[in-house]
Amino acid sequence: MTTTDRPTAPKTAFWNDPVKRGLALQTGLVVFVVMVVWAAFNNMSANMLARGLAFGWDYLGRQANFAIGEGLISFAPTDTYGRAVLVGLLNTLRIAVVGIVLATLLGVAVGVMRLSSNPLLARIVAGYVEVVRNTPLLLQLFLWYAIINALPGPRQALPVGPGMFLSNRGMKMPWVEWSPALWPAIWALVAGLVASIVAAKALKRRREATGDAPPLLPIAAGLIIGLPFLALAAQGFPATLSVPVLQGFNFSGGVELSPEFVALLLGLVLYTAAFIAEIVRGGIVSVSKGQWEAANALGLPAPRIMRLVILPQALRVIIPPLTSQYLNLTKNSSLAVAIGYPDLVHVSNTTMNQTGRAVEVILVFAVVYLTISLVTSAFMNWYNGRVAIRER
């Protein structure tokens, strides 16, 4: 039989081909969404024009003429609205990042204590979780703000740690004064982090090949702490630690956290940690009791069982809902406007009132919070994929 005599497969219509049909449907959906957005934009522009309003971003270059109480970068009333929005965005990111770290640490600790064999500890922790997560967050923010404002002044400030004082003016704490001579130590820290990642992968390959490898923690600690220490030592320790000292009616030195920032951070951390604690507890309970019994049979102490056997398996259940809590904390930070913390919403509201550019300001809200949420979700999805079970 020649090649020309071979039977050929009958051609399939594209609506019977699931790949082509799916591609056509997705293309049609994208076109439909673009048309809806375009129609909505044209309708909005026509209505704004009919009312004498203009749409544009030129207002970002105008002088703001208002002050912002605190920020990671300097700001003066003579600066532009664009810089004001940037200050608000950085303040939002600062509260979100610090809040996520602290809420995770507290939530994991509370979640483990919920399973304690000590009934008193377990019930105290359960009471905290039930009270905090069943109370509106806005009410908690008002409560913490009122408590901080009711504290005594700096001369009777409450010591809350080494060199740390809490008063009605916020919190004062030690801080390293910035100097260009610190750059080598910062680069040494980055090099230590990269070297730790490389060491972790090398130890993993060695463990998979031989079944034995030295522990990673001492090596990583030596790289991350030791390299910056050596860099500082080589320059004669140029860093200066500024410690708050009471002088007259107020503290001097150190760094100051405003009452608004402290109240917002307390409210967000305690509220989110209550939810994270339940997620962690659920993840630990989901691990089979056989894993506990097997680890006990090997003679491992309880902390090592939790760290090496239980938590790695529980992470597969913990990570997805934990991602939602991180997103909730970031979005809940917009309640800062209620207590006067100058986050993105607070600054943008002032901008909207002064410029009348409501549509543009709301678009900035949407884009910023959507971007933060998508980046957080992408990172957590990547991490979830790393810890997920891979079937072979």
269 in the same domain as 192: no
Residue 180: per-residue pLDDT: 78
384 pLDDT higher than 70: yes
User: At residue 392, does pLDDT exceed 70?
Assistant: no
CATH classification of the domain holding 274 = 1.10.3720.10
- Range with the poorest average pLDDT among 18-22, 171-175, 259-263: 18-22
Looking at the structure, tell me whether residues 284 and 325 fall in a common domain. Answer: yes
User: For residue 369, is it within any domain?
Assistant: no
- Residue-range definition of the domain harbouring residue 189: 183-233
Query: Does 149 fall in a domain?
Result: no
Pick from 144, 117, 167, 104: nearest CA to 315: 104
What are the beta bridge partners of residue 279? Answer: none
Verify that 218 and 260 share a domain, yes or no. no
Regarding whether 310 and 262 lie in a shared domain, the answer is yes
Whether 264 shows a pLDDT value over 90: the answer reads yes
CA distances 219 to 90, 169, 200, 216, Å, are: 34, 42, 9, 5
Q: Are residues 333 and 276 in the same domain?
A: yes
Examine the domain organization and report whether 262 and 336 are in the same domain. Answer: yes
Provide the pLDDT confidence category of residue 1 given band limits of 50, 70 and 90: very low
Tell me what the mean pLDDT of segment 364-374 comes to: 90
265, 129: one domain: yes
Q: Has this prediction a pTM greater than 0.75?
A: yes
Domain-embedded: residue 391:
no
Say yes or no: 195 and 334 in one domain: no
Assign 323 a pLDDT band (cuts: 50, 70, 90).
Answer: very high
Mean pLDDT of 146-169: 89
Q: What is the mean pLDDT of residues 4-21?
A: 71
- Whether the pLDDT of residue 56 is over 60: the answer is yes
The total domain count for the chain is 2
Average pLDDT over residues 54-81: 89
Residue 299: pLDDT band with limits 50, 70, 90? confident
- Whether residue 29 lies inside any domain: the answer is no
In SS3 terms, 158-217 reads as EEEECCEEEECCEEEECEEECCHHHHHHHHHHHHHHHHHHHHHHHHHHHHHHHCCCCCHH
pLDDT of residue 96: 94
pLDDT tens for 98-153 read 999 999 999 999 999 998 889 999 999 999 999 999 999 999 999 999 999 999 98
344: Cβ contacts below 8 Å, ≥ 6 apart:
85, 88, 89, 91, 92, 334, 364, 365, 368
* 131 and 263 fall within a common domain: yes
Both 219 and 86 in one domain: the answer is: no
Residue 23 lies in a domain: no
One domain for residues 276 and 224: no
Residue 200 lies in a domain: yes
Place 390 in a pLDDT band, splitting at 50, 70 and 90: low
Question: How many angstroms separate the CA atoms of 300 and 296, rounded?
Answer: 6
Kindly state whether residue 210 falls inside one of the protein's structural domains: yes
Q: Does residue 156 lie within any of the structural domains?
A: no
Residues 86 and 132 in one domain: yes
Instruction: Give the pLDDT mean for 52-57.
Output: 81
DSSP 340: T
Q: What percent of the chain has pLDDT over 90?
A: 41
